[in-house]
Amino acid sequence: MAAERFNSRSSALQLVRARPASDAAQAIDSDRILDAARALLLEEGLPRMTMTAIADRAGVSRATLYRRWENVTGVVADVSTREWNRLTERAAARAGGTAREKVVSTVVHIVREMRSHPLLRVLIDESPEFLTPYQVRRQGQVTAFHLVVIEDAVRQGFADGSIRHGDAVAMAQAVVLMSWSFVTTAPAIVGSPDAVGPELDALDTELTLALDRYLAP
């Protein structure tokens, strides 16, 4: 029932899309809607969210919401993409040193922050099926962004001599694959439901070592 609710389309959806969006609807800042959806996700969880609740929280009409997203899952996907991309940009901006040091520092920081992030915890705890397609079926926007950032840094490492030469695309993919389990699976392995603690700090140290040795000339 919950899955039907957050994936269902209103009968009004087709009518809404048949009409051109008004200037007022186009002028509404998407961040305002995503902020509202983010707050609801943390408060209610994905299975209990509705398009009506998001629209009410954002102070917009359901018609405005449906012009941009088909369902709650689509809204939450954009909330997640915005959150993780911002986190990635902050992590990349704070890293220093050689290109290899920047890659390792950035990736480990992203892993640590994502793993304990309230948004990811509520999705893993209540709606793990939301994450499954991005793990086994298709590459999401966040993964695509991570791959671009890491590939660019790997190529910089080729230039400054801090990273061994190889296939930059495959190396970026390997780094992402190596790191993702430290985000999603590590808390279960060490028995840390809150995704924080000394056991996970120790794993992050091991990830740092593994990435550094993998990329080193």
How many domains in the chain? 2
20 confidence band (pLDDT: 50, 70, 90): very low
Q: How many Å separate Cα 179 from the centre of its chain?
A: 14
Residues 33 and 103 in one domain: no
Nearest in space to 70 (alpha carbons), one of 7, 142, 141: 7
| Least confident span in 22-26, 37-41, 132-136, 200-204 | 22-26
Residues 190 and 113 in one domain: yes
Residues 102 and 63 in one domain: no
Residues 103 and 209 in one domain: yes
Residues 110 and 17 in one domain: no
**Domain range for 160:** 77-215
136 confidence band (pLDDT: 50, 70, 90): confident
66 confidence band (pLDDT: 50, 70, 90): very high
Model pTM score: 0.81
